[in-house]
Amino acid sequence: MESHLLRLLLQNRSDFISRAQLQRELSIHEQALDSLLQMLISWEYRMEFHPTLGIRLLELPLSLHLDEVFAQLPPQFSWRIFHLKETSSTMDFLKREGIQGAPHGSIVIANQQTAGRGRLGRSWTSSPELGLYLSILLRPDFGVESYSRLTILTAVATLQTIEYLTSLHLQIKWPNDLMIGKRKLAGILTEVHRDHFGKPFAIVGLGLNLLHQTSDFPSELQSKASSLLMESGKSIRRTDLLVHWIQFYQKALLMPFDEISDLWKSRCLNLGELIQVHTEQGPLAGTALDLESNGSLILRTDSGKIHSILSGIVEI
Ligand code: BTN
């Protein structure tokens, strides 16, 4: 109901909407409308109340409310979204849900994580409300050997979302870092699990720095990390990010991988470069040549040997 009310208020943002119209559209009495409005006020939606014209939405809160997310998405949107105040890691939460059969497109977003993790066992600092910490569960119709495509797709959809909401120009560092210059804005982690029937599914985690100032990062990251606020001067709301991310993500999932791959390559900063990759099997140095159709990186070492690398970390 809050979601429906918010949809009506958002659709009429430039104008007042009368109480009578709201009651009619929501099929509720005056008292019920008042309690819904009180609820929105307590969530820090600022409204103007006019004695004859009705109600107008003035300001939206920085905090995340799923009711607003659903209000901004098309009514037929059917993915499940969990919003947690705190969790160890959204990856673990969704893994448990996935094992029990949670459907494709289930998303979990947390205000903070107490044990957020990055690739190769690194930790991901997840201070309350400063960043976007989310995971999405995917049950793709291609085999696990191509799940790296999901990392590539997530990088592209996230880059498109950020560029849509800000005027920033981002680049991608293989396989999953979104960079602005030499600083990292976001990281992506893809994990594969199996449910009770032995069927594989993927969980893709996204950590995006939103409202951080330099001093909010651990000292060893202060020269290497940045946030949307630091780069654009704007406090982007997690609600807006999530709404647009979901829409870009759904479009990307429908695109042929060739197209995603081309978009990705056009923004990759280390294709054609000499790179040093830390893989689970150890370090590997060589020239990053191309992306394979399963999403892995083709690397040629000095000796001319060609490697196909599914996952790793590139130092620059
Ligand atoms: C990396 O760059 O190493 C990947 C970082 C991924 C961090 C996100 S935050 C949401 C999700 N939950 C986690 O514990 N990790 C991912």
Which one of 173, 204, 206, 212 would you pick to mutate in the ligand 1 pocket, going by the greatest count of ligand atoms within 8 A of its CB?
Answer: 206
Of all protein residues, the one whose alpha carbon is nearest to atom 3 of ligand 1 is 118
Of all protein residues, the one whose alpha carbon is nearest to atom 16 of ligand 1 is 205
87: Cβ below 6 Å to ligand 1? Answer: no
Gap from CA of 287 to ligand 1 centroid (Å): 27
pLDDT at 87 over 80: yes
pLDDT at 12: 86
User: How far are the Cα atoms of 112, 135, 156, 211, 227 from residue 130, in angstroms, in the given order?
Assistant: 8, 16, 22, 5, 9
Report the nearest atom of ligand 1 relative to the CA of 134: 10
CA geometry: angle 101, 105, 110, nearest 5 deg: 95
* 81-103 mean pLDDT: 96
Residue 283 confidence class, pLDDT cut points 50, 70, 90: confident
Gap from CA of 32 to ligand 1 centroid (Å): 41
pLDDT in tens, 130-146: 999 999 999 999 888 88
pTM comes to: 0.92
Average predicted confidence (pLDDT) for the chain: 92
pLDDT at 316 over 70: no
* 75-84 mean pLDDT: 95
Distance CA 61, CA 80 (A): 22
Of all protein residues, the one whose alpha carbon is nearest to atom 2 of ligand 1 is 187
pLDDT in tens, 210-258: 999 999 988 988 999 999 999 999 999 999 999 999 999 999 999 999 9
